[in-house]
Structure 1
Amino acid sequence: MTSDFEASRRPGGGSSSPCMADEVDPQYFDPMAVDPEQARDVARWRQSERKALRDARKTLTSHQRQTVATALMAALGNVLDRRAFEGSVRTVAFYWPIKDEPDLRPLMSDLIADGTRVALPVVETRAAPLVFRVWTPETRMERGHWNIPVPPEDAPAVHPDIVLAPLVGWDGEGFRLGYGGGYFDRTLADLSPRPFSIGIGLASARLSTIFPQPHDIPMDVILTEQGAVFEAKR
């Protein structure tokens, strides 16, 4: 990514996945982008930023990780409390923490105790929308794609009302930099009605832009240990 490219690029579109697709296919780019060469430039730039941000995240101490997770769970609880919900049971899709991501599992159990249904994303078919399966603290987890723990095949599949998306980076327009596979973008584009989406990550992971592409979908909220740092007006 050259300075000329950065100077000429104009933001306009979100990013990625709960998986490690960038490691499976480091040259990943979306063929639906307007300019294939530009899409490759963006993909290479994102790969570099992704590595730098993940390396920085690895430097956090155990105490710092716990402090961040505790602050995020408190902030997320406040956001969820503010969300009006119509229906018998609210379904919130979390994610299983990998690669030094903030661990929100204590909140998952607390929400279930309060009557919320919790689900986790599953890659049933590569390069396709995610499927969400119900999770409880008693769920017998199995290894899914990229060895990420997922609920078993016999766990009920559900349509979530709220989806949490882990992020590696984020920008002030609500776009997230994920792991590069595009799974959350495909999923949010596919689900109808579209769930309320919340990107979860570190305040220090803010970027001036992720250079959004046509397939990218912005989050409704970006949430960090500092609280809601972005909220869409809708």
Structure 2
Amino acid sequence: MQDDAQVEIIQYPYSHELPQEHRIESARSKAWNDISRWRKAERKRLIDERLALTPEERQIRSGRIASLLDSTIGNFAGRIVGSYWPFRGEPDLRNWGIMIIERGGRIALPVVVQKGWPLEYRTWSPGDPLERGFWNMLVPARGSAVQPDIVIAPVVGFDDANYRLGYGGGFFDRTLATMTRKPLSIGVGYAQSWIPTVYPQHHDVPMDVIVTD
């Protein structure tokens, strides 16, 4: 498996008759197809592994992550934290989010407005109505659109360079790349989700830090 910078040009019959740029582009396309298939397989493996954890184990691990987030972020007063509603065995930080509000912060949850678009963050407090959105995930039914000061992004997988493997939609990468003010971006996941590399591409945005159990 190779990234674009290391890609080897593959020779095909009559490829010598093609322009050099076309041969390079063909090799890059093949490399990306290989990476895409690998990511899909890794995504399934990692999600299956975390779903195999018992609810009690996930709760314990989520508590550890919440404690480390406290020490990583520090003061929450006056700050907007973009959190998330847990999905498919992700760390459950809902109680931690309520504590943020109690300490003077605000919570915003991501909403998929349209496929291929950046996420929209909407403010949310306990008791505010939720509805089913993209991938059948719960999202705020209403709430002001805001830009978070801190973005908490759940990971399916992650590597030592702080790149995250997500669900394949590119929503967090697109959102972080288009924000007018750079937030503190924190990936969260279980330690077992570590992989040597996600084979990051030019559009992938690394997290500032990854927090695990």
Sort the TM-score into its range (normalised by shorter chain).
0.7 to 0.9
Q: CA RMSD for the aligned pairs?
A: 1.8
C-alpha distance 39-63 of structure 1, shift in aligned 2 (>3 A):
same
Aligned partner of 2:63: which letter? T
- Normalised to the residue count of structure 2, the TM-score between the two structures is 0.86
Aligned partner of 1:115: which letter? G
Cα shift at 1:137 = 0.5
Q: Which has more radius of gyration?
A: 2
1:90 aligns with 2:90: no
Contact map agreement 2:191 2:212 (CA 8 A) in 1: yes
1:196 aligns with 2:184: yes
C-alpha distance 10-68 of structure 1, shift in aligned 2 (>3 A):
farther
Cα shift at 1:138 = 1.4
| Structure 1 unpaired stretches of 5+ | 1-5, 13-33, 226-234
Runs of 4+ in 1 over 6 A off after TM superposition: none
C-alpha distance 131-161 of structure 1, shift in aligned 2 (>3 A):
same
Structure 1: distance between partners of 2:56 and 2:124: 27
Contact map agreement 1:11 1:209 (CA 8 A) in 2: no
Q: Number of matched residues? A: 193
**SS of match in other structure, 2:146:** coil
Contact map agreement 1:134 1:155 (CA 8 A) in 2: yes
- % identical equivalent positions: 45
| Structure 2 unpaired stretches of 5+ | 7-26
The 5 A counterparts of 1:135-214 are 135-152=124-141, 154-214=142-202
The 5 A counterparts of 1:18-33 are none
The structure, 1 or 2, with the larger RCO (C-alpha pairs under 8 Å, 6+ apart) is 1
Q: Write the deviation string for residues 119-175 of structure 1: whole angstroms up to 9, x where unpaired.
A: 0000011111000000101111011112111111x3111010000101010000010
Structure 2: distance between partners of 1:149 and 1:63: 22
Cα shift at 1:37 = 2.1
Contact map agreement 1:133 1:156 (CA 8 A) in 2: yes
1:48 aligns with 2:41: yes
